[in-house]
Amino acid sequence: MKKVITYGTFDLLHKGHIRLLKRAKTFGDYLTVCVSTDEFNALKGKKAYTSFEDRKYILESIRYVDEVIPETSWDQKISDVVENDIDVFVMGDDWQGKFDFLMDYCQVVYLPRTEGISSTKIKRDLGMNH
């Protein structure tokens, strides 16, 4: 079985998120999604509108997602890949090159973002800060 992993906050779930998950799943048989916890978001200076537990619950209901695990630090990616026998690491291309260090452990793929949509844009359109 070929295993894939991706990471994100997945706040204010939108079409771009679903497209990323759908495309990530095409790289293997089993997709693990690692979701930033509220505590980790605070360390990054971010605040999600939706709580970690609710974001996890929503992601678990998406047919492309096989497992959801918490992201609690920047440093856990290598151990996540090794401990979960990951074959392919997938991220949006706004992170291009940032995770190339994982190439020693698995294939690294950067996917193009969906044009015209992002959680940041939704928050801005709604007049929310962050």
Task: Supply 65's token pair.
Answer: 């997602």
Long-range contacts of 10-13 (CB under 8 A, 24+ apart): 10/35, 10/55, 10/58, 10/59, 11/48, 11/49, 11/50, 11/55, 11/119, 12/49, 12/50, 12/119, 12/122, 12/123, 13/50, 13/55, 13/58, 13/59
d(CA 101, CA 112): 20
Active-site residue list:
44, 46
Provide the 8-state DSSP code for 112.
P
